[in-house]
């Protein structure tokens, strides 16, 4: 992406050779013949330069106010002024804005070098802002850890796509599988990495506000629209807009989005001017958009437009062997955050982690590890707080086709078979003092054995205990386990 320079030069300037010289450089120049024209370009047409060069004689109060307005609207970019004599208070305000002020006599070469430095400074400041806004997201390809074929292939596809100048990309995948994470990696390593990465979750915004969030609005264009607002499409200019949960976008906004993608321009809500943008759109959904198209809930034309490139983020259950890398990484991350210094992961934790089917994918894993690290003692991950069996029972009832793939064959568990039994066979206790804790314990173990047809490994996983603990309690409660016990 070429950097862009807004060059404000009025007719009184003596440096007429400057514009053609700048236009020959390796950046895009837009000329404004007055400060008012520059303000209009930015306010009405959403123009977002990386640097602004000002060559205007005798800046007056109104012009300086307009420059300050531009600064408020744009946020991150740098100014270069060709210095003129100004009254002290006005000079102070120009100093506040300046990245550099250059004094006469000017050399075109020096001006160009300064402009290039200003652009570089803008790029760096943008990156830092992006990094601190999402510092939890590491955005290198290596942040997708793992050596399984599934994960290697996913990394390879991302690396390949990051170098393709695509205008749209559809990211499919289950909830929490890392669609946002993959989108961030693609942007941060892609051709638009020096520009903004803006995220919009269509499900998190009230339906009636989706349009104005996306396209912006003019003051008073609808009840509650107080001032003028630059939409996310405009804010993402030259960069990437990531539309998460796009299946939740209202149909009429879908139509306007399609038009904006095709024409690379749009109008703010209540606006009269067309605003040109050059934005790469990533869209993600964990819904079946194809089915939504059939049901008339998603526009077919937009679906095809977004699907020019598509990727599928794999579910965690397809690369469970990589838990051996993912878990230590997350444990050390949360140890560092909490100051807990967890240095070992007990076998019983591994048994649970590997046997589980992970319907909530990496997000669920993160949450389980965070909980267990925070409640760990003596430097050991607290396996009791993984709480996987309980969530497994609730979450996986809807997933009859799910398969389990453990690296340790002994730990494999046929979750689905056992779940169907649990669904019809819920265990409830009345907490009225009529049962002792020991009696409840005995009944839980009996139930787990019944569900797993006396398979001790599977029963131990269901109750989050080790096989040794379970065997000890079976003896203690004098429970009968048949020939099938493991
Ligand atoms: N490979 C990975 N390594 C480490 N953390 C990851 C990885 N993939 C995803 N995560 C983390 O898991 C969590 C969920 O990821 P993300 O938000 O990208 O999922 P998603 O598929 O976009 O979720 P949703 O369907 O809810 O939009 C985030 O905290 C993210 O940082």
Query: For ligand 1, is residue 363 a contact (CB within 6 Å)?
Result: yes
Q: Are 19 and 29 in contact (CB under 8 A)?
A: yes
- Decide the pairing of beta strands 98-102 and 240-244: unpaired
Token reading at 302: 């937009």
Closest to 64 measured CA to CA, from 40, 39, 44: 39
CA–CA distance, 395 with 387 (Å, rounded to integer): 12
Here the CATH number for the domain that contains residue 113 is 3.40.50.2300
- Element (H or E) spanning 275, and its range? strand 275-276
| Alpha carbon of 326 to ligand 1 centroid (Å) | 12
Domain membership flag for residue 99: yes
| Alpha carbon of 361 to ligand 1 centroid (Å) | 8
Domain membership flag for residue 482: no
Query: For ligand 1, is residue 286 a contact (CB within 6 Å)?
Result: yes
* 117: phi then psi, degrees, rounded to nearest 5: -65, -40
Ligand 1 atom with minimal separation from the 365 CA: 12
Q: Which residue has the tokens 């173990």?
A: 445
Domain membership flag for residue 433: yes
Query: Residue 449's pLDDT is what?
Result: 85
Report the number of distinct structural domains present in the chain. Answer: 3
- 216-227 pLDDT, tens digit per residue, is 988 776 766 666
Closest to 262 measured CA to CA, from 230, 295, 231, 308: 308
Q: Are residues 350 and 383 located together in one domain of the fold?
A: yes
Q: Are residues 305 and 343 located together in one domain of the fold?
A: no
Dihedral of the CA atoms 144, 148, 152, 154 (nearest 10)? -70
- 261-316 pLDDT, tens digit per residue, is 999 999 999 888 899 999 999 999 988 899 999 999 999 999 999 999 999 999 99
Q: Are residues 323 and 309 located together in one domain of the fold?
A: no
Q: Are residues 462 and 377 located together in one domain of the fold?
A: yes
Q: Are residues 246 and 342 located together in one domain of the fold?
A: no
Here the CATH number for the domain that contains residue 189 is 3.40.50.300
Domain boundary among 67, 101, 132: 132
Closest to 5 measured CA to CA, from 56, 58, 41: 41
Query: Residue 314's pLDDT is what?
Result: 97
- 172-217 pLDDT, tens digit per residue, is 999 999 999 999 999 999 999 989 999 999 988 888 889 999 999 8
| Alpha carbon of 80 to ligand 1 centroid (Å) | 41
Q: Are residues 305 and 326 located together in one domain of the fold?
A: no
Domain boundary among 295, 313, 331: 313
- Decide the pairing of beta strands 240-244 and 280-285: parallel
Token reading at 431: 């907490």
Exposed/middle/buried for residue 176 (C-beta within 10 Å: 0-12, 13-18, 19+): buried
| Ligand 1: residue whose CA is nearest its atom 17 | 180
| Ligand 1: residue whose CA is nearest its atom 3 | 144
Domain boundary among 132, 165, 198: 132
Token reading at 97: 């804005």
Query: For ligand 1, is residue 366 a contact (CB within 6 Å)?
Result: yes
Query: For ligand 1, is residue 123 a contact (CB within 6 Å)?
Result: no
What single-letter DSSP state applies at residue 356?
-
Closest to 177 measured CA to CA, from 313, 357, 325: 313
Q: Tell me the mean pLDDT in the region 55-62.
A: 88
Query: Residue 418's pLDDT is what?
Result: 31
Q: Are residues 329 and 377 located together in one domain of the fold?
A: yes
Query: Residue 361's pLDDT is what?
Result: 94
Domain membership flag for residue 277: yes
Q: Are residues 102 and 162 located together in one domain of the fold?
A: no
Q: Are residues 168 and 297 located together in one domain of the fold?
A: yes
Looking at the predicted structure, is the pLDDT value of residue 414 above 70?
no
Q: When comparing pLDDT for 27 and 431, which is higher?
A: 27
How many other CB atoms are there within 10 angstroms of residue 401's CB atom? 5
Domain with 355 in it = 318-476
Q: Are residues 343 and 379 located together in one domain of the fold?
A: yes
Residue among 178, 197, 287, 321 to mutate when testing ligand 1 (max atoms within 8 A of CB): 178
Domain membership flag for residue 485: no
ipTM of the complex: 0.96
- Element (H or E) spanning 172, and its range? strand 168-173
Ligand 1 atom with minimal separation from the 181 CA: 18
Dihedral of the CA atoms 465, 469, 471, 474 (nearest 10)? -90
- 76-130 pLDDT, tens digit per residue, is 778 898 877 777 878 888 887 777 778 777 888 889 999 988 888 787 677 656 5
Mean of per-residue pLDDT scores for the chain: 82
Query: Residue 408's pLDDT is what?
Result: 35
The CB-side HSE value for 54 (13 A sphere, CA atoms) comes to: 30
Q: Are residues 148 and 289 located together in one domain of the fold?
A: yes
Q: Tell me the mean pLDDT in the region 424-429.
A: 62
Domain membership flag for residue 484: no
Closest to 266 measured CA to CA, from 306, 301, 212, 215: 215
- Can you give the C-alpha Rg of the chain in angstroms? 30
CA–CA distance, 319 with 402 (Å, rounded to integer): 13
Domain membership flag for residue 481: no
Q: Are residues 331 and 405 located together in one domain of the fold?
A: yes
Here the CATH number for the domain that contains residue 351 is 1.10.8.60
Looking at the predicted structure, is the pLDDT value of residue 31 above 80?
yes
Residue among 153, 362, 364, 370 to mutate when testing ligand 1 (max atoms within 8 A of CB): 362
| Alpha carbon of 182 to ligand 1 centroid (Å) | 8
pTM of the complete model: 0.63
Query: Residue 433's pLDDT is what?
Result: 62
CA–CA distance, 96 with 152 (Å, rounded to integer): 50
Query: Residue 482's pLDDT is what?
Result: 64
Residue among 203, 245, 327, 363 to mutate when testing ligand 1 (max atoms within 8 A of CB): 363
In 403-484, alpha helices (H): 415-424, 437-451, 456-463, 467-476
Domain membership flag for residue 483: no
- 354-402 pLDDT, tens digit per residue, is 889 999 999 999 999 998 988 888 888 888 888 775 444 444 333 333 3
């Amino acid at each position: 992406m070429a950097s862009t320079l807004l060059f404000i030069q009025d007719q009184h300037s003596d440096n007429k050779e400057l514009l053609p010289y700048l236009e020959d450089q390796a950046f895009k120049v837009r000329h404004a013949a007055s400060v008012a024209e520059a303000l209009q370009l930015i306010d009405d047409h959403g123009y977002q330069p990386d640097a602004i060069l000002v060559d205007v004689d005798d800046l007056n109060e109104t012009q300086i106010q307009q420059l300050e307005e531009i600064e408020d609207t744009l946020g991150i970019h740098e100014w270069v002024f060709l210095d003129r004599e100004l009254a002290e208070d006005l000079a102070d305000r120009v100093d506040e804005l300046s990245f550099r002020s250059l004094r006469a006599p000017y050399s075109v070469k020096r001006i160009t070098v300064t402009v290039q430095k200003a652009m570089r400074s803008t790029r760096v400041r943008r990156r830092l802002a992006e990094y601190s806004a999402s510092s939890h997201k590491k955005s290198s390809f290596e942040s997708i850890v793992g050596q399984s074929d599934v994960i290697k292939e996913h990394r390879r596809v991302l690396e390949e796509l990051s170098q393709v100048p695509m205008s749209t990309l559809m990211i499919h995948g289950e909830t929490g599988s890392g669609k946002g994470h993959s989108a961030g990696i693609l942007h941060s390593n892609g051709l638009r990495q020096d520009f903004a990465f803006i995220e919009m979750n269509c499900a998190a915004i009230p339906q009636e506000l989706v349009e104005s969030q996306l396209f912006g609005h003019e003051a008073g264009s609808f009840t509650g629209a107080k001032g003028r607002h630059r939409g996310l499409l405009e804010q993402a200019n030259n960069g990437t807009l990531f539309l998460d949960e796009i299946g939740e976008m209202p149909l009429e906004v879908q139509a306007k989005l399609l038009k904006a993608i095709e024409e690379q321009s749009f109008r703010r809500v209540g606006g009269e001017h067309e605003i040109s943008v050059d934005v790469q759109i990533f869209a993600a959904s964990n819904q079946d958009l194809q089915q939504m198209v059939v049901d008339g809930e998603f526009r077919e034309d937009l679906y095809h437009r977004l699907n020019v490139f598509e990727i599928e983020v794999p579910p965690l259950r397809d690369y469970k062997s990589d838990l051996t890398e993912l878990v230590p990484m997350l444990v050390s991350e949360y140890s560092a955050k909490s100051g807990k210094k967890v240095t070992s992961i007990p076998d019983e934790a591994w048994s649970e982690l590997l046997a589980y089917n992970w319907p909530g994918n990496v997000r669920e894993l993160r949450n389980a590890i965070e909980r267990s690290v925070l409640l760990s003692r003596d430097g050991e991950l607290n396996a009791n707080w993984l709480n996987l069996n309980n969530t497994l029972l609730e979450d996986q009832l809807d997933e009859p086709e799910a398969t389990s793939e453990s690296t340790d064959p002994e730990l494999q568990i046929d979750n689905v078979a056992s779940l169907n039994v649990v669904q019809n066979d819920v265990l409830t206790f009345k907490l009225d003092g009529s049962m002792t804790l020991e009696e409840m314990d005995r009944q839980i173990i009996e139930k787990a054995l019944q569900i797993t047809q006396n398979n001790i490994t599977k029963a131990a996983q269901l109750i989050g205990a080790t096989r040794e603990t379970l065997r000890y309690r079976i003896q203690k409660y004098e429970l009968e386990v048949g020939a099938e016990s493991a």
